[in-house]
Amino acid sequence: MTEYLSIAGNTLAYDVTGQGPLVVLAHGIGDSRHSYRFLAPALAAEGYQVANVDIRGCGDSSLGWDGYSRTDIAGDLVALVRHLGGPAVIIGQSISGGAATIAAATAPEVIAGVIELAPFTRAQPFDLGGLVRVKRFRAGYTQMALVIMRGRLANWTKYLDLALPAKPADWDSELARIEAKLNEPGRMKVLQAMCKTSPADAGAQLRNVKCPVLIIEGSADPDWADPRAEGEKIVADLPQGLGELAVIDGAGHYPHAQLPDQVVALTLPFLGKTLTRA
């Protein structure tokens, strides 16, 4: 059942499954909570209360928010955790990985840990060498640039084809769902607005994080020439001893959809050490 949280005249859509310590799932740009269709039930089955949220402007959440930065999204996630009682581990993908960092840094009393999937958590310097050397990165960069400039769904679907080098079995229906949602008036504008935001706000908060952080990268992610190196840089910017990095071989930008069993296998030990069971 979809529930709604009111924030400053707008609404966040989310659903809750399972019972136990709280885990909040936050997806990336151009997506919805359906991105976690494999992860949410798996975590609920392991004894967690899983709140799966449509971040502002996406899915069933309302349009018309006054900003789409990682700081904005972080405030929403903290509000949801407080609404549901907390504390929580936030699992955030892409833009929501950066938002989860900010949430952890600014609300340490309710954020017990953070898992970041293919996160944009640092400002990205222009990587000319990577564009020349790595075809996968060059192709992804090109399609994202076209999305930002043109706002065409065709370029986004071409990016998704690269970002999921191996497709889940339900990909045809899932892609149709994504296309239908982005064809709704205003949804592509939100995607473009999120693409234009800088991760610098999240990068500036890495040093202020006090809880454990797990970074999960996919070795075939088209958003970086070297995804492992990006993950290592995030860990290095965290206080010493808080961050750990896992790289899933062959995964793209959506490891939780492409290889959910491997993501669950990495997630459960982290949850076990960060969330206390009643």
The tens digit of pLDDT for each residue in 12-54 reads 999 999 999 999 999 999 999 999 999 999 999 999 999 999 9
**What pLDDT, on a 0 to 100 scale, did the predictor assign at position 74?**
98
Whole-number mean pLDDT of the chain? 96
How many whole angstroms separate alpha carbon 132 and alpha carbon 99?
30
How many whole angstroms separate alpha carbon 90 and alpha carbon 108?
12
Sequence spans of domains, the chain: 3-274
Tens digits of residue pLDDT in 44-61: 999 999 999 999 999 999
pLDDT band at 277 (very low <50, low <70, confident <90, very high): low
Residue 66 has pLDDT above 70, yes or no: yes
Question: Around Cβ 83, how many Cβ atoms within 10 Å?
Answer: 15
Tens digits of residue pLDDT in 169-220: 999 999 999 999 999 999 999 999 999 999 999 999 999 999 999 999 999 9
Residue 126 has pLDDT above 90, yes or no: no
Tens digits of residue pLDDT in 143-175: 999 999 999 999 999 999 999 999 999 999 999
DSSP 238: S
Percent of the chain past pLDDT 70, that is, above it, reads 99
Sign of CA dihedral 25, 28, 29, 30: negative
Distance of CA 95 to the CA centre of its chain: 5
**Structure tokens of 276?**
């206390």
Residue position matching structure tokens 């790289």: 247
How many whole angstroms separate alpha carbon 26 and alpha carbon 77?
8
**What pLDDT, on a 0 to 100 scale, did the predictor assign at position 222?**
96
- Cα three-residue angle 113-119-121, rounded to 5 degrees: 85
Residue 278 has pLDDT above 80, yes or no: no
29-67: string of b/e by CB count within 10 Å (b at 16+)?
Answer: bbbbbbbbbbbbebbbebebbbbbbbbbbbbbbbeebee
- Cα three-residue angle 103-46-96, rounded to 5 degrees: 25
What mean pLDDT is predicted for residues 109-113? 97
CATH of domain 3-274: 3.40.50.1820
The burial class, CB within 10 Å (0-12 / 13-18 / 19+), for 134 is middle
